Amino acid sequence: MRRILVYGVTGSGKSTLARRLGRRLALPYHSIDDLAWEPGWVPVREELQRDRVREICAGTEWVIDSAYGIWVDIPLGRADLIVGLDLPRWRSFGRLLRRTLVRLVTREPICNGNTESWRGTFLDRESLLLWHFKSFKRKRARMRLWAAHPDFPETVLLRSPREVERWLASLPDRTSGAGQA
C-alpha cells in the first residue's frame, strides 16, 4: 500500500481522509484541487492536469484525494489501493453544505488561495452543491464497479464515518518515521 487513491462524491471527506492516510502511513499527500485550479478559480488546461497527475503517479509513493474523469486512467494504472467513500447522499451533502457555509463565513483559502463565494455557491451552474447532485450516482457506480471487478486495484468501500475510523485505526502507524506528508 504505497500508492493510494481516495475516491468519493463531493463532500464525502476525501481530502481529510487522504491527508490523514498520508500522515499515518508516512506517504506524500497531494491535493488534486491544487493541481486543477489556479488562483482566481482559473481552471488548469486538461493536458497540463494530466501531466501533473502523471508526474505524481510516476512516483513510488503517493496518496491523492480524487480522480477527475479526464485523467482517472492515470492513477488507476498505478494505484495499489482505492479507498472509496461510499457514504449516503444525506451524509455527504450535509458535510458539503456545512463545510461550504463555514468557508463562506471564514473566507478560508482553499486550492491555491481561492475562496468560496456566495454567488459561486448558490447561483453558479458549476456550484459544488449542484455538482454533488449531478455526479453522485455516477461516482457511486464507479466506486462500486472498481470494488466488484478484479481488473481494478484492490478497492475498500467505507460506508460510514465509523467504518472510516475503524479502517484507519487498523493500519500501521508510521508517524514516527521520516517522509511524513
Delineate the domains of the chain, giving CATH numbers in brackets: 3-169 (3.40.50.300)
Residue 13 DSSP one-character state? S
Q: Determine the pLDDT at residue 176.
A: 67
- Is pLDDT of 51 > 70? yes
pLDDT tens-digit readout, 17-28: 999 999 999 999
Amino acid 106: pLDDT: 93
Look up residue 59 and give its three cell numbers.
512516483
Average pLDDT, the chain: 91
In the predicted model, is pLDDT for residue 54 greater than 90?
Answer: yes
- Categorize the per-residue pLDDT at 177 as very low, low, confident or very high, splitting at 50, 70 and 90: low
Strand partners, 3: 62
- Check residue 115 and give its pLDDT: 84
- Whether 180 shows a pLDDT value over 70: the answer reads no
Could you tell me the pLDDT band of residue 121, with boundaries at 50, 70 and 90? low
CA distances from 67 to 118, 121, 123, 124 (A): 26, 22, 26, 23
pLDDT, tens digit, 9 for 90 and up, residues 142-175 = 999 999 999 999 999 999 999 999 999 999 999 8
Q: Please give the single-letter amino acid code of residue 140.
A: R
CA 33 to chain centre: 9
Strand ranges inside 10-89, DSSP E: 29-30, 37-38, 42-43, 62-64, 81-85
| Helix axes 89-106 and 128-148, enclosed angle (nearest 10) | 140
The whole model's pTM is what?
0.89
Strands 81-85 and 154-158: parallel
